[in-house]
A and B are shown apart, each in its own frame.
Chain A
Amino acid sequence: MGISDLLSVVVFLPLAGAVVSALVPKTRPEVAKWVAAITMGLGLALTVWIVAVFDRTASGMQFVTNVAWVPQAGIHYHLGVDGVSITMLALSSLLGLIAVIASWKVTDRAPTYFAMLLLLQVGMNGVFLALDFVLFYMFWELVLVPMFFLIGMWGGTRREYASVKFFIYTLAGSVFMLVGMIALYLHTGTFDMVALAKAGSTGALGIGFQNWVFLAFFLGFAVKVPLFPLHTWLPDAHVEAPTAASVLLAGILLKMGTYGFIRVSLPMLPDAARAWAPWIAVLAVISIVYGAAVAFAQTDLKKLVAYSSVSHMGFVMLGIFSMTTAGLNGAVAVMFSHGVVTGMLFLIVGMVYDRTHTRQIADLSGLSSAMPVMGGLLAFASFASLGLPGLSGFVGEFLSLIGAWQSAVIPHWITVIAAVGVLLAAAYMLWMVLRVVLGKPSEVLRGLPDASTRELWVLAPLVALTLIVGLYWSSLLAFVDPAVKALVALVGGAA
């Protein structure tokens, strides 16, 4: 087995774990969670290895596996990783392990639960590594199934509604994506995403054709991002999902949408992307401001974080469609940072909920007095989320703004409104901190224990990443920049 098979191992190792975990008898839940933890741990170790071996100066695909799968239809088993996807792979491997450890106390149908988490991991890793459209689509849809069950079986009181809404909404989006895929195939005769990117950049596709295909992909990806006004599945899914599922939903699943824009829409359909960019930028800015404003009015902590995700993903979209290196670097940085920081926020909210059984902001207050560590970490995560320099949130937002201003396709007034979004982020986050973290401890917090060692270990890597990326941008962007540079050269945007 050569080093290029590493990616296959990373993708399918969780599948093996899922099978084993599913076979564990219900009476021994601890076996299932150990299976899951070890599988995820191995996956993370392999990912770290890949990251270490990855050539940061190259812009193309690395660790490529490409074998014919269904040769009659030109479908290949084609995996590879570049600077953009490796950041997402690393994030997904890390959050996968964290999700398992955060679920340590789950005993209800534990074998199935952990099997679902592992199966989800297969899909998430696969989406970011697949370079064949059919494979990409399979992984894309594979993600829906375990997430559907995680929300539907282990969720809150309105879990049926939320899970069905999530499933159908995103599936409806991806159907359009499928149409786009097939259209591209019929036009070019290949499912190979690398070849399609080349075809797109050489102008082989006419603008009329591109426009329609772009629209189809846009619907598929924008639902996932989610971009205003296609976002309403997100708060419901988040509120009902168990903590680990929330972490993965916000941390990884949303990124699949923006990753799709970077991997598919921009390189394959550059002319259409340029034509649509101002309109998408408008939607992105609406997402930023609207998400922030609605987040401000929320009374449920999880909903607040969910709407903040809408706002942050707006920055990603703004960065992507600025079509500049600064903007795209920023977009990937926001994707990464949002995964880490929002993961942290959801974990802490989940930990508080485990103790108090409430997520209502009005019920909580004085967290920092009752539980200094937990309160401090919530404040830390909030500041990272509102984009304080020195923490990871700032990197992406700042670069996205710079890129958007530089961009030839986005008017300046859009960037100005987006910058106001930074202020609004501070408003809703600090308003939450003021009510939840500060003040006199409320009745429900009386006598509750502070963060346990396990909980600290869950949060520690996220805290560390937030600081590392925030203080030394290159730790993340050194991977991203060559790929982004090549992409911008392909698309023909500004440097």
Chain B
Amino acid sequence: MTWLVLIPLLPALAFAAMAPMSRRVRTAVRWLPLAAMSGSLLMSFAAFARVWPGGGEEPVWRATFSLATLGGAPLSVGLRLDAVTAIMLLVVTIVGVCVQVYSLGYMHRDERQGWYFAVLSLFSAAMLLLVLSGDFLLLYMSWEVMGLCSYLLIGFWHEQDAPRRASIKAFLTTRVGDVGFAIGLAAMWAYAHSFDFAVVLRDTHWTVAAATLVSLGLLAGAMGKSAQVPLHVWLPDARAGPTPASALIHAATMVAAGVYLVARALPIFHAAAPWVLIFVMGVGTATALLGATLAMVQYDIKKVLAYSTISQLGYMFIALGAGAEGAALFHLTTHAFFKSLLFLGAGVIIHATHTQDIREMGGLRKTMPWTTGTFLFGALALSGVFPFSGFWSKDDILMTLWTQHTWWSLTALSVALLVAAMTAFYMTRVCIRVFAGRACSLARETHLDMIVPMAVLAGITAVIGFTSPAFAAFLGEVKGWPDLGMAVVGSIAATTGIGLGVWIYAFAGVDTQELRVRFPRVTAVLENGFYFDLTYNRGLVETFQWLTRLLAAFDTTVVDGAVNAVARGWSAASRVSWAFDGTVVDGAVNGVGALVKRAGDRVRTLQSGRVQGYQRLGYAGLLALLGLALLVPYIGALAAAACAFVALIVVGVIVVRGA
């Protein structure tokens, strides 16, 4: 089954082929990623067929690849196909193909669209590799590559200021979590000496301390990627990118990768201290509530959807906190379809009305029936209305919380029900604002190539909920059809939300403007998103910038200043020694020089310049040497005699003087 490698490889190759092309050629082959994704889709179905219907946790296929050896021990990465992977593959490729098809229509006027398709393809490759990864290292690597693609796509229209800033914000915020992820991986390696799922999750006996550390690290990464409080701030801004990219990356797949990671690593979370899972649930609860609250007050349709995504991801984290891997993954799956559907619909609406503000829209149901219909499917699913998919997956989560029956799970349950009502409320609000009422613009229905993907997603959204028991069984869990009681409670929550929304917005039961004026403080808090952005900007970003400037000044004045001070001190010392040198040392040298010069003046007279003078000297010297040669045998005696003679004279002189 080595062909499974092709699933991520095809889109990757499409990117590799397109990256070096010129803008024009890239645009010409913009269909290439779609072709690659279609191939991946077919193979994903084939892969699913291999796993079905057995399912379970055991992989049906594994492949390892030695990345390097460390001290002779291999550091391997690997791929694995099991039930979870098979489902994720299908989710990613189906949504991916829909988004690709839709994008061909959506982006066809943009002159840099080739680059958009290339990056989308790289993203798909990374996401597919992530779900195929059989170990945490490969997962982390594809995780980061997805982050890069998200960055590139959010900042796609980088000539404008907002997308640029949103892109860097997204990358850095998720990287804050990734620092934790990296530390978690380091700790994992130090403890288990492996990244392999099979080894780490099954064969390793974790100590509580080690498991706590590792799980918190992984959780940090997941919280960044899946936009959990307090790292959620990047997701609402991510709407600055092209809408179909948001549909794929920031609604369906990448943001769900955090949920996938925690779901995979759940055995470590179970081995960790009990408060870790409670913490996960707490994070999820807070995120779900915060997202839903903020989604209710937004006017930008994409921002509503973004906060809604945050809220739904919180829902999934609640499920993870309850240890319900299956429920979380099921909600992930349904959410991927209906939320990408909603984003695609929003893209069409924005294209048609040339605005993102829901106050400036209205009456689209008449001119855009297809868009209206599909969008409503998505909205109903998100609101949790039977029989749409959201109902089933939400019910799963609620039921899990109920069965767990601890004080924290019951708290989370009540918040989750509240959030369900709020979700239904804000979706009703959007739908009424956009589709009902008088037509505000000359919006036209979009082309077939964009309707078809939406219709496909809408169809899936309508029916996929019924797979709930099969889905659980496939993952190796035992679960029947939903409990009637919980289904009723969930439906009541949804109906309440919808009813409230209809009463307020369709029948103008409450003047929302008046509410805003009457509670200015609440309005301010909500409009500023609970001041997260402001706090981060003031507290972290600006402090950091100030600190870096301070450190840079410190570097030039203190650290480098010390170096320069040493140099200056040295040069001062050298001036002193130069003076010493000039007078004393060089004086001595000059004295010797003068001495030699004076001696030279004496001796130079020998150099008469006359040939015969030299000749004479030469012959005299010759004679002297001859004489010396003859006297050699007696030279010692002669020398002694001469010395004695000189000594005698000296002594004589001393004696005479002394006397």
A406 at the interface (CB under 8 A from B): yes
Q: Which of B126-170 contact A (CB under 8 A)?
A: 140-145, 148, 151, 155, 158-159, 161, 164-165, 167-168
Chain B residue with Cβ nearest A474: B68
> Looking at the complex, which of A21-29, A269-277, A413-421 is the stretch in contact with chain B?
A413-421
Contacting residues, chain A, for B71 (C-beta < 8 A): 324-326, 481, 484-485, 488, 495
A136 at the interface (CB under 8 A from B): no
Instruction: Answer whether A405 and B187 are a contact pair too, CB < 8 Å, given A294-B548, A398-B182, A474-B68.
Output: yes
A229 contacts B559, CB within 8 Å?
yes
Contacting residues, chain A, for B73 (C-beta < 8 A): 495
Instruction: Answer whether A481 and B70 are a contact pair too, CB < 8 Å, given A232-B563, A390-B141, A427-B172.
Output: yes
A13 at the interface (CB under 8 A from B): no
B555 at the interface (CB under 8 A from A): yes
**What is the CA–CA distance of A228 and B560 in the complex, to the nearest angstrom?**
11
Q: Which of A400-423 contact B (CB under 8 A)?
A: 401-402, 404-406, 415-416, 419-420, 422-423
**What is the CA–CA distance of A143 and B520 in the complex, to the nearest angstrom?**
69
> Looking at the complex, which of A40-48, A178-186, A431-439 is the stretch in contact with chain B?
A431-439
In the complex, how many angstroms separate the beta carbon of A438 from the nearest chain B beta carbon?
4
Q: Which of B71, B73, B164, B549 counts the most A-chain CB atoms under 10 A from its CB?
A: B71
Instruction: Answer whether A416 and B183 are a contact pair too, CB < 8 Å, given A402-B189, A422-B175.
Output: yes
The bracket for how many chain A residues form the interface is: 35 or more
A434 contacts B164, CB within 8 Å?
yes
Contacting residues, chain B, for A481 (C-beta < 8 A): 68-72
Q: Which of A233, A406, A419, A484 counts the most B-chain CB atoms under 10 A from its CB?
A: A419
B595 at the interface (CB under 8 A from A): no
In the complex, how many angstroms separate the beta carbon of A291 from the nearest chain B beta carbon?
9
A298 at the interface (CB under 8 A from B): yes
In the complex, how many angstroms separate the beta carbon of B144 from the nearest chain A beta carbon?
5
Contacting residues, chain B, for A402 (C-beta < 8 A): 185-186, 189-190
> Looking at the complex, which of A104-112, A117-125, A244-252, A364-372 is the stretch in contact with chain B?
A364-372
In the complex, how many angstroms separate the beta carbon of B128 from the nearest chain A beta carbon?
14
A388 at the interface (CB under 8 A from B): yes
B23 at the interface (CB under 8 A from A): yes
Contacting residues, chain B, for A12 (C-beta < 8 A): none
From B69, B75, B544, B559, contact of A232 by CB (8 A)? B559
B168 contacts A434, CB within 8 Å?
yes
In the complex, how many angstroms separate the beta carbon of A207 from the nearest chain B beta carbon?
26
A472 at the interface (CB under 8 A from B): yes
A346 at the interface (CB under 8 A from B): no
From B23, B183, B547, B552, contact of A372 by CB (8 A)? B23
A169 contacts B563, CB within 8 Å?
yes
Interface string of B457-492 (1 = CB under 8 A from A): 000000000000000000000000000000000000
Interface string of A314-347 (1 = CB under 8 A from B): 0000000000111001000000000000000000
Contacting residues, chain B, for A383 (C-beta < 8 A): 148
Q: Which of B64-85 contact A (CB under 8 A)?
A: 66-73, 75
Contacting residues, chain A, for B552 (C-beta < 8 A): 293-294, 297-298
Q: Which of B265-319 contact A (CB under 8 A)?
A: none
A165 at the interface (CB under 8 A from B): yes
A405 contacts B158, CB within 8 Å?
no
A389 contacts B140, CB within 8 Å?
yes
Interface string of A437-480 (1 = CB under 8 A from B): 01110000000000000000000000000000000111001100
Q: Which of A217-232 contact B (CB under 8 A)?
A: 228-229, 231-232
From B145, B155, B171, contact of A438 by CB (8 A)? B155
Instruction: Answer whether A477 and B68 are a contact pair too, CB < 8 Å, given A405-B190, A430-B172.
Output: yes
Contacting residues, chain A, for B145 (C-beta < 8 A): 388-390
Contacting residues, chain B, for A293 (C-beta < 8 A): 544, 547-548, 551-552
B70 contacts A388, CB within 8 Å?
no
**What is the CA–CA distance of A293 and B544 in the complex, to the nearest angstrom?**
8
In the complex, how many angstroms separate the beta carbon of A395 from the nearest chain B beta carbon?
8
B176 at the interface (CB under 8 A from A): yes
Interface string of B527-545 (1 = CB under 8 A from A): 0000000000000000011
Contacting residues, chain A, for B142 (C-beta < 8 A): 389
Chain A residue with Cβ nearest B555: A294
Chain B residue with Cβ nearest A333: B68
Instruction: Answer whether A431 and B168 are a contact pair too, CB < 8 Å, given A294-B555, A388-B148, A389-B141.
Output: yes
Contacting residues, chain B, for A484 (C-beta < 8 A): 71
A128 at the interface (CB under 8 A from B): no
B179 at the interface (CB under 8 A from A): yes
B168 contacts A406, CB within 8 Å?
no
Contacting residues, chain A, for B172 (C-beta < 8 A): 423, 426-427, 430
In the complex, how many angstroms separate the beta carbon of A169 from the nearest chain B beta carbon?
7
Q: Which of B413-470 contact A (CB under 8 A)?
A: none
Chain B residue with Cβ nearest A330: B70
B179 contacts A326, CB within 8 Å?
no
B555 contacts A405, CB within 8 Å?
no
Contacting residues, chain A, for B75 (C-beta < 8 A): 473
Chain B residue with Cβ nearest A431: B168
B72 contacts A368, CB within 8 Å?
no
In the complex, how many angstroms separate the beta carbon of B343 from the nearest chain A beta carbon?
24
A149 at the interface (CB under 8 A from B): no
Interface string of B329-373 (1 = CB under 8 A from A): 000000000000000000000000000000000000000000000
Instruction: Answer whether A369 and B159 are a contact pair too, CB < 8 Å, given A399-B70, A430-B172, A478-B68.
Output: yes
A439 contacts B189, CB within 8 Å?
no
**What is the CA–CA distance of A233 and B560 in the complex, to the nearest angstrom?**
8
Contacting residues, chain B, for A191 (C-beta < 8 A): none
Pairs A-B, 5 closest by C-beta atoms? A325-B71, A389-B141, A405-B186, A232-B560, A297-B552
* Seed contacts A298-B552, A325-B70, A419-B182; 6 additional CB < 8 Å A-B pairs: A165-B563, A297-B551, A326-B70, A394-B144, A415-B183, A438-B164
